[in-house]
Chain A
Amino acid sequence: MATSTAQYKDRQFLAVIGDEDTVTGLLLAGVGHVTQPPDSQKNFLVVDAKVDNATIEAAFDKFTTERKDIAILLINQHIAERIRHRVETYTAAFPSLLEIPSKDHPYDPEKDSVLKRVRRLFGE
């Protein structure tokens, strides 16, 4: 039990990979954080037309593997689709990964990795 507490005691931030409106909204809620310079690491990535899949993957790796201060990673489902293999093979205990809807892409349970696991469990 002690080890598991140590695993997450420094995890406190919500990170976001999303389109501009999703990130703007969540930052309005006060979850945005930039670490002290010179690092100045952001806990969000705005995915606009200029952002390619490699950048999304890099941000995903940074938030899930490199940084130890992220508690929950939120990712727009349509963006998760672009790096689906990464999302589906992600099994670490922390951070918790959640797929959320965006303005133009409502939540689709068929695509949600959590529900895909459910279907596998019931042998579909």
Chain B
Amino acid sequence: MTEVQVQPALASNASQDERKILEDRLDGLLEQYLQTLDQYQKTQKQLAAYLSSGYLSLAQANFNNNSHSRYGQDYYDQRMQASRTINISGDDLNVTFKLSVSQEQDATIEGSGPAKSSQEDDSPAEEKKKSTDPLRWFGILIPPPLRAAQASFVEAAEGPIPHLASLVKRLRRQEIEIGRVRKQIKKL
């Protein structure tokens, strides 16, 4: 009778230790999670700042614009090619998104062409380079506010956007880990 009572006491001691270990682990995970969350919210603020200055510049450009209706979809180049793309790296545990700026492909194609007289050398390449800049969709004279808008959106695309994508991935992974440890604690 006494022996029977000792057994469960021992067992519950062991499970209490296990519980303690798991609970500490959960605390650690939650702390990490809150840190990632904090970064996410800060980066969202940063993104909002870049975007709102971009929207403001675009509004200014449209306000000063007498010639066209507005800087918008009517002028998009229907054969546009991305010059800024995303590079994903890492593994399941740590995925990172980064923006990469393509080399001027058109310029290199020009450069490798057969005719390379000294006059032709830079002028066609330069023309090509200009034509790939989306600013050119809107004409030859680029108002400064439109250029400023482009600069703000470039900043948003280079910094906070890929950073946020990486953070969302990290949050997802941490949520799964937290769920797993919570389940283990419940089972005890």
Contact = CB atoms under 8 A, between A and B. Distances in A.
A120 B161 CA distance: 25
Interface residues of B, number: 54
Interface in A1-42: 1, 4-5, 8-9, 11-14, 20-34, 40
A101 B82 contact: no
A20 B134 contact: no
Given A96-B168, A98-B161, A107-B48, A12 B87 contact: yes
A19 B133 CA distance: 21
Interface size class on chain A is 35 or more
Secondary structure class of chain A's binding surface, majority of residues = mixed
Interface in B22-76: 33, 37, 40-41, 44, 47-48, 51-52, 54-55, 58-59, 71-73, 76
A64 to B, nearest CB: 14
Contacts of A23: 73
Interface of A: 1, 4-5, 8-9, 11-14, 20-34, 40, 43, 46, 71-72, 74, 93-94, 96-98, 100-103, 106-107, 109, 112, 114, 117-118, 121
